[in-house]
Amino acid sequence: MNRQLWFAICLLVAGLAWAQPKTLPAYTNLGVSTGKAGGSLTLALASAPQTFFYYGAIDAAIQNLANQMFDGLIEYNLANYQIEPALATRWSISENRIYTFELRRNVRWHDGRPFTADDVVFTYTQIVANPEARGGDAANFEGVRVEKLGDFRVRFTLPKPAPAFIHYMRLPIMPKHKLLPFSQEGGKPRAEINTAWPTNVNPEEVVGTGPFRLRSYTPGQQVTLVKNPNYWKRDAAGNPLPYLDQVQYLIIPDSQARVAQFLAGNLGQINITGAEFPDLKRRETQGGPFRVVQFRALFGSPPHIGFNYNAKNPELARLFSNSEFRRALQFAVNRERIIEDVYNGLAERASYGVAPISEWFYPEVVRLQGRYDLNAANAALDRLGLARGPDGIRRLPSGRPLEFTLTYGSNSAVFSAIATILQNDFQRVGVKVNLQGILAANLLATGRGSDWEAILLALGDQPDPELRTPIWKPGGALYYWHQATQPTTPGGPPQFNNFLPWEREIYDLWERAASTTNFTQRKALYDRWQAIAAREAQVIMIAKEYAVGAVSNRYGNYIYSLGVIPGYNPLVLLFQR
Amino acid sequence: MGIGVFILRRALVALPTLLLISLLVFTVIQLQPGGFLENMLEDPRVSRETVEHIRRQYLLDQPAWVQYLHWLRGILQGDFGFSFLNGRPVSELIWERLGWTVFLAALTLWVTWLIAIPLGIYTALNRYSPTSTALNFVGYFGLATPDFLLALLLIYLVLASGGTNVGGLFSPQYIDAPWSWAKFKDLLAHLWIPLVVIGLDGTANIMRQMRANLLDALSQDYIRTARAKGLAERVVLWKHAVRNAINPLISLAGLQLPTLISSTIIASIVLSLPTIGPFLYDALLNKDQYVVMALLMLSALLLMVGNLLADILLAWVDPRIRYE
Amino acid sequence: MDRRNHPLYLAWRRFLRSKPGVFSGLVLALLYLMALFAGFIAPNNMTVQHPSASYQPPQRVYFWREGRLVRPYVYQLRRERDPITFISSYKEDRNQPTPIRFFIAQGEPYRFLGLKTNWHLFGVAQAEGYFFPLGTDQFGRCLFSRILVGSQVSLTVGVIGVLISFALGILLGGISGYYGGWVDTLIQRTTEVLLSIPRLPILMALSTVIPTSWPSTYVYLGIIAVLSFIGWAGLARVVRGQVLALREMEYVTAAVAQGASNLRIILRHLVPNLSSYLIVTATLALPGYIIGESALSFLGLGIKEPMASWGLLLKDAQNFQSLSLYPWLLTPGLLIFVSVLAYNFFGDALRDAADVRSRD
């Protein structure tokens, strides 16, 4: 044996002695047991990665991969979504706006360089707060001062209290020694950071602290990750994690093809939809070598119907901005049937921006949203003076028939089906709906434009309502259904004169919640908001789909993961039997 | 007129045509709403300011004609533009995918013609035999089934019979492996599904047309004259009839070159093939405009080359045709 | 002239000799009759949803009861959901047979030849239950009725599309090949422009331009017009190639010498020589339109819910769960196949009949 190798071994032993590993909870309630090291797993990516730099694009593929290659300062508990230490071992909050983090010692980047406070400061100042970084988060870090207080201590000073700020600490930390040449600190224009680690980068360059590191990328076909032998997590029994030696991602754009590859045994695990559940579950009961499991997830996007309060047709705009009208139509939305027939029973009633299992969920919304009742819908529409014409369609005050266009994603089986059911039920209360299918990829853009009347859209739930401020706070960038409230210039104040009275109320609730740090008080404010949203039928929420996954029997310790949420990574616990 | 002058003249005419096509394509792209910038906003990380920065950075805040001229200037300097989504030059990205695309398309074209022409001749000569009828049935099935469903049915059958090769070009363990006999066999085991899905339509088409053309040719006067002169039936058939029957198909073949890029989109998506098809599709959905421009211009160029080749071939096969 | 020597009569005789051709002709006639009388034959309203009958399999028709031949009847099905797999399964309610009645007047009236009527060929009395001969879709709509009404779209879309594109293709291709020179260059460059832009981006752009308030049928006709306007280019190339070859033939030279007009020469002397090729190409192009229309709905173009077409109905079957749990959704595919077969065999027979020189 040569001297270099001896030296390396000594270093390793010394490193282990000094290491500061995190031992994961036992998670017995999730069915987790001590796994076996070795083996490999093949997963699917729905699209080819656009870059290997997490902050270089908003791209589901790199979000998936980054969860395996990088870590944030904090992460979620896999069972209850409580925040736990990750690269930070502990932290303190003073004056509600000064966050001080103690960093984990002896964590190494994949290339062996030590992880220090410099990397954290670099990541947040040069990348996250960089307004030109395409996947950055500049808006939430405006005025935030990030300082190094020592090699393993970092302080964030906020201009004002922001109770959801801690959630941003899930963002993956990047290696300063690799990315400095692309940064402003390294002498480059700010936009240059986006060119770091393109997909043809040498895999050796892409280093993180995560459980796996990049080994290779074959364009359009697959990404291969290999185990990081020096990872800083341990299982409850003290064994090093991750268990798996290798994770391969096949690029399979079509969901049917993913199911096929899973059934053929080429994929170890897939996420599926409620529509696909019965077929796969039946195959399982007939002896298929896999398990199909359903979970209630914190994330995911429940669809809603948005009405354009500023529709081009002034008569429709008046109706759409009238809560009475939206409530009337809400009575004609048969959520039970949609859950039954579209989701195969694998969905539940939804609230606004927060999942039913979230601690922020206000259970009363289900009652306030009301139930399917065509008589109530008809009565309410009659009260609005919308009498039926001879063809059964109601008439607007001008005498024109009450009809509007409902825009939906034509290439989504779920959206098409919901649209068809809605059209049918609205017709029964004398409201004619013209369906307009567009590519699901263009839905949000269409909604943010002015050329629509009603739309079927799905926006994601987050663990803290604060993270969805742009959607639910009147005047926000994604408060698309009432665009007259939005600022005339980006960054300017909302147009308060166009607010409806209850919108003003919601706005004030959000303002107060944003600077309240006491959980109980915040919860009360957000409960109140959800109650108003439901009462006014701000938008008509439809249903929240359960998360469904299928996993081959070759693997143990399976916990569902959406894959793209930073700070939620159960893959380290998965092992091959 | 010599063939060299002919080619040169065609090339000169092609330039304004290409320019016109590029203008049309650019307009068509601009007509679409949405794009990657709009969709970024759904992510809680992205603010409106960031989107505005990117818009400026990529000149997307400029009027469309400025963007077009910018693109045109790039082309003249040999720069095909930049992919917004991938943050890399378009030419690199196309190059990465070109190999498998050309391989698959060329193989499909070749196999299609190799099978279809003889089958067309066979079904023409044995019009009412059971084999001909069976062949026609298979062909019609291919024509009547959407690519997506055909792929799905094949995958379903493979799965039902216990097979595992249900997509892609290789099993996962061979994708990164160096070439070996085992890898080659693995490729062959995967290749037949894409070949059938992409090629069945074309095979049926060419077979049917070849059959009709040959039947036509066989009843022409010059064939009867040839037979009357006592030429061997084999000579009559192959030298005269088949040669004449193939003429209309040559014009058709010229049109098939651009299918390299666009016609395999659906099959490539459902079969997870690493070709340009899904790449173009993504670019279209996200309005990654310079990628779309580059690919569509490439397709136009291929079409013109195909047409030119077909015209030259036409003259070669059929001496009656002159160029003016 | 003796009626027996009239070319049309001879062609008719040749056509009748082709058994598959005659049979296909009958099948096509039957299909078009079904499309024409769709409202009458359909037992249910194609747009009415039955929430309790989502993905109901076809109901079996019984003819015998207690060993005796009786009026055909069906049993009503009751939905049950498997608690583990969540599969909806349907059980026959054996207590109450529901007789099938013929020529019953009930349900929503439909229009036929300007008449408003609600007579149906068959069905069960509304008070007694439902009869879904081919099962239902996800929303519990009668698939059989939807197929019938959908045939009105699918059986016309191809024919109209082929007519438009062939008229354009033959005329422009013929002119291009016959005249040569700058006309040829102009037309050929135009075809290149048209052919070089893939359909997908054009359709995507169209989907944003077409007003949403347009009724389904307008959109559909508009799209066919656009598709066939793009579609003529390929044909024009082929026709041109043929005409290039044919115009040097003696009979064309002779016609020119006799002072025949150019258009006449193209249409009377050159195009008939292509008839065989054209018939085959036309029958081959038909399925493209029938299926292609379903691809449009993916982009939100073409036929919209709750209207139906075969292509659109077949789309529901294009996933694993349908193939294994709801295979009856494939019936529209079967009909597309049958109609494509019929068109092509019919085309073959037409080709043989039109082939004057054929000696066999």
Nearest to C355 by CA among B133, B120, B213: B213
Give the start-to-end residue ranges of the domains of chain C.
Answer: 3-36+149-354, 40-141
Q: Is B256 part of any domain?
A: yes
In this structure, what token pair is assigned to residue A459? 């926006």
Are residues A424 and C49, on separate chains, in Cβ contact within 8 Å?
yes
Chain A residues touching C304 at Cβ < 8 A: 434-437
Any chains having at least 3 CB pairs less than 8 A from chain A are: B, C
As beta bridge partners, residue A307 has A454
The answer to whether position B36 is within a domain reads no
- For chain C, say whether A90 makes contact (Cβ under 8 Å): no
- In this complex, is the C-beta atom of B209 within 8 Å of any C-beta atom belonging to chain C? yes
C-beta atoms of B255 and C234 within 8 A: yes
The average confidence (pLDDT) of chain C is 81
CB contact under 8 A, A410 and C212: no
3-state secondary structure of C279: helix
Cβ pair B152:C202 closer than 8 A = no
B208 found inside a domain: yes
Whether residues B269 and A439 touch (CB distance < 8 A) is answered with no
Average pLDDT of chain B is 82
Does residue B280 lie in a domain region?
yes
Interchain pair A191, B86: CB under 8 A? no
Q: What global pTM score does this model have?
A: 0.88
Q: What is the 3-state secondary structure (H, E, C) of B17-77?
A: HHHHHHHHHHHHHHHCCCCHHHHHCCCCCCCHHHHHHHHHHCCCCCCHHHHHHHHHHHHHC
- How many angstroms away from the CA of A3 is the closest CA of chain C? 59
Q: Which residue of C has its CA nearest to A428?
A: C48
For B202, the domain range is 96-287
Whether residue A410 and residue C81 make contact (CB cut-off 8 A), yes or no, is no
Q: What is the CATH number of domain C3-36+149-354?
A: 1.10.3720.10
| CB contacts, 8 Å: B264 with chain C | none
User: How many angstroms separate the CA atoms of A87 and C263, rounded?
Assistant: 82
Chain B residue with CA closest to C179: the answer is B324
Per-residue pLDDT of B147-192, as tens digits, reads: 888 888 999 999 988 888 888 888 888 888 888 999 999 999 999 9
Side chain identity at residue A523, one-letter code: K
Task: Name the residue in chain A with its Cα closest to that of C214.
Answer: A434
A 316-355 residues with CB below 8 A of B? none
The two tokens of residue C110 are 């439909």
H or E segment to which residue A545 belongs: strand A544-545
Question: B153: domain CATH number?
Answer: 1.10.3720.10
What are chain C's partners, defined as 3 or more CB pairs within 8 angstroms? A, B
Instruction: Give residue-wise pLDDT tens across range A375-402.
Output: 999 999 999 999 998 888 999 999 899 9
- The verdict on residue B39 lying in a domain is no
Torsional sign, CA A135, A139, A143, A148: negative
> Does position A1 have pLDDT exceeding 60, yes or no?
no
What integer pLDDT is reported at residue B134 of this predicted model? Answer: 87
For residue range C112-127, list pLDDT tens digits in order: 666 777 788 888 887 7
Token reading at A20: 């500061």
Q: In this complex, is the C-beta atom of A254 within 8 Å of any C-beta atom belonging to chain B?
A: yes
- CB-based contact, A421 to chain C, within 8 Å: yes
How far apart CA B166 and CA B155 sit, in angstroms, is 5
Q: What is the mean pLDDT of residues B189-199?
A: 89
Is some CB atom of chain C closer than 8 A to the CB atom of A87?
A: no
Write out the two tokens for C3: 């009626």
- Cβ contact, residue pair A434, C212, below 8 Å: yes
Choose, out of A334, A439, A455, the residue to mutate when testing the contact with C (most C CBs < 10 Å). Answer: A439
Judge contact between A242 and A227, C-beta under 8 A: yes
Give domain status of residue B308, yes or no.
no
Tell me what pLDDT residue A378 has.
93
Q: How confident is the model at residue B216 (pLDDT cuts 50, 70, 90)?
A: confident
- Beta carbon pairs, A and B, within 8 Å: 175
Least confident of A187-201, B36-50, C15-29: B36-50
The answer to whether B28 contacts chain C (CB < 8 Å) is: yes
A510 touches chain C (CB under 8 A): no
Secondary structure class of C336 (helix, strand, coil): helix
Q: Give the residue-averaged pLDDT of A531-555.
A: 93
**Gap between the Cα atoms of C325 and C304, Å rounded:** 25
Query: How far, in whole angstroms, is CA C331 from its chain's centroid?
Result: 14
* DSSP assignment letter at C62: E
pLDDT surpassing 80 at residue C46: yes
pLDDT digits (tens, 9 = 90+) for A267-319: 999 999 888 899 999 999 998 899 999 888 788 889 999 999 999 999 999 99
Pick A222's closest partner by Cβ from B100, B159, B175: B175
Of A341, A419, A434, the CB nearest to C54: A341
Number of domains in chain B: 1
- What are the tokens at A500? 């409806």
Of C299, C305, C324, the CB nearest to A439: C299
Structure tokens at A74: 């904090």
Contacts of A416 in chain C (CB under 8 A): 305
pLDDT in tens, A468-509: 888 999 998 889 999 999 988 877 889 999 999 999 999 999
